Structure 1
């Protein structure tokens, strides 16, 4: 039994790790999970200011578990984030998860980090593992899904008309795939607005986005075989970017799910139902091109009452609750 580093070029190991990851999600019934292209890209250093450390636990010549650890160097450089830590269902209760966590903790400390973060559903083995190892919940998130098969197109169209009446003076621009170069500065401004999202008691600071970081995100989506549908709102009188919403759809191996990523309205432009308009307009456009998408999944902080109200008006319904866990690295592991 040994823990070994994973390099992105070691495709066979990455695929074996993914098989464990997928089996764990199927066993624990956690709902939709990333396809292998997005999973694999998580082992690569996508940002100039971030390192990813990935390791697997090998037992009897086979991968029995593993983790991927994000190590930011610019924003939140005090933190290490467990992108995943997973053990094969048939290999649990043998100390593998604890060994992987101890190893990840050592890597985080070696990089000078003082906080370790992770996430899991609020119920199930992940939550029990986190609590047993000294983690506390820093943020409660609720995952909701919209069943497009049951959605009432007339109801959604009426909601959009209602939002449009309140959003007079704003125009919409949209794109599919990578953002047009001329919109990159606006997109950076809009994504910076996500720093207003509730973060509960998490020991984190806001992230600074510029054009180079947006380009890195675009490259990552392309490498992860993900097609983006995005719409921005612009204030007609000043030309200022006002809001943004995006949906992510797997290009290959589709599973009927799309993922709602960011939705943001900048503070000076709130009160015009732009969030509702952006989400509805972007959803309608995506459905024109992706008739096989049957569900949209989204996460919100449980305290984000405004965005939750928008989602519920659209028909999103609660699937489950998640926790963002954190543990000071000078605290005992449990």
Structure 2
């Protein structure tokens, strides 16, 4: 997408360009990817005041190179009026990231928008939004989802906006919320962002794990791995990944089952290695049947060694009520303290209607630190 020049009134002129996947980060066209990453990070730091969710170009390039299961498109708004080096990443003022499934859910996709704080209120976000929707239509999509961020959740009142689930609230006067509402997006789910200070006292963590194991019983044991799932479990781990699309709350988002197999597990594992991501998994095995029935994962980014993200957590629907969520989470936190002692914080998102998983997090000491709105729009 070459992109035509977009000028909003008499304000800043920008060109919407697609970010190429460069051969390496020293390639002549890599400045667009670097600028996109810089924009993402500037937005994150302005929102949270830290670098916990920041990325680096190596990590983003590793993701962009792997597109067997998801088409990944990055659009950027490039300042046409800025003097100086034409290949300066600082010329990138905003970005739109599109993820379009290629195997299942090919009717939909996800878009993420961001504009550097100093470049806002110039129409750049609107230009990126419209360009992203057009790209999605060209790829045959009939619906998109997006996310807005907040650092606190409002109480009920005229300025609180509830999703279709009725659980959670957003600030109606938040700029991102206003942007979505005026462009035809519907709020379908609110998720809570929570942070846990680690390491937890060893005796507290051990007590939580022992209590969970007592309920789970002797037929359940914990299995740990990092980065590569053992061959004996890879088919079952693929099933757990598939069940993430069917067994966890998605609010009113119109998604279908997203089917994984062993090949996809191996592909994503290699992508994580190429990105420099650490991926620590704790799973629960039902010993009599030799099946995995629950798992949780911690993702460590190359940007900081002080923070990890608690990624997917799942207990298969038919195995719930046995405290398996607490069991695998405590096992992974124990392992985190032993293997990555520099980590100080763990962050995670949970749907506000997922009361059971939120209760586990609260019991462990996670504290609310904001949240997200999950939005949907027909094209």
Superposition TM-score, scaled by structure 1 size: 0.92
The one of 245, 265, 284 equivalent to 2:315 is 265
CA contact (8 A) 2:314 2:325 kept: yes
1:2 matched to which residue of 2? 15
Correspondence 1:220-235 to 2 at 5 A: 220-235=271-286
Match of 1:178 in 2: 228
Q: SS in structure 2 opposite 1:309?
A: helix
Aligned to 1:38: 59
- 8 Å CA contact 1:7–1:43 kept in 2: the answer is no
Please give the residue correspondences for 1:75-94 in structure 2 after superposition, counting only pairs within 5 Å: 75-82=104-111, 84-94=112-122
CA distance 1:280–1:288, change in 2 (3 Å): same
1:160 aligns with 2:209: yes
**3-state SS of paired residue (1:292):** coil
> Please, which moves more after superposition, 261-270 or 193-202?
261-270
- Match of 1:174, SS state, is strand
SS across alignment from 1:237:
helix
Instruction: Give runs of aligned pairs for residues 22-33 of structure 1, distance below 5 A.
Output: 22-29=41-48, 32-33=52-53
Q: Secondary structure at the match of 1:144?
A: strand
- In the superposition, relative to structure 1, how do residues 253 and 116 fare at CA in structure 2: closer, same or farther (>3 Å)? closer
Alpha-carbon distance in structure 1 between the residues aligned to 2:231 and 2:291: 17
Matched, 1:110 2:138: yes
The 3-state SS of whatever aligns with 1:196 is coil
Spell out, residue by residue over 1:271-300, the C-alpha distance to the aligned partner (whole angstroms, 9 max, x if none): 221110100001101110111101111111
Describe the shift of the 1:244–1:160 C-alpha distance in structure 2 as closer, same or farther (beyond 3 A).
same
| Correspondence for 1:63 | 92
Residue in structure 2 matched with residue 275 of structure 1 by the alignment: 325
User: Separation in 1 of the partners of 2:291 and 2:284?
Assistant: 9
Indicate if the aligned counterparts of 2:44 and 2:54 stay in contact, CA closer than 8 A. Answer: no
Superposed, which structure 2 residues align to 1:1-334 within 5 Å?
A: 1-9=14-22, 10-29=29-48, 32-36=52-56, 37-44=58-65, 46-59=66-79, 60=81, 61=86, 62-82=91-111, 84-121=112-149, 122-123=170-171, 124-148=174-198, 151-168=200-217, 169-194=219-244, 195-250=246-301, 252-329=302-379
1:174-219, Cα deviation, whole Å (9 max, x unpaired): 1122222232112112222222101111121121111111112212
Could you tell me how far 1:43 is from its partner in structure 2? Answer: 3.2
Aligned counterparts of 1:4 and 1:221: Cα–Cα separation in 2: 27
Partner SS state of residue 289, structure 2: coil
Equivalent residue for 1:332? none
Q: Tell me the secondary structure at the aligned position of residue 127 of structure 1.
A: helix
**TM-score with structure 2 setting the length:** 0.82
Distance in 2 between residues matched to 1:288 and 1:269, nearest whole Å: 29
Q: CA deviation at 1:255?
A: 4.7
CA distance in 2, matches of 1:207, 1:133: 28
CA deviation after TM superposition for structure 1 residue 145, in Å: 0.8
1:43–1:68 CA contact under 8 A, matched in 2: no
Structure 2: how far apart are the matches of 1:228 and 1:49?
19
The 1:130/1:111 distance shift into structure 2, 3 A limit, reads same
2:362 & 2:341 partners in 1: Cα distance? Answer: 22
**Higher CA-based Rg:** 2
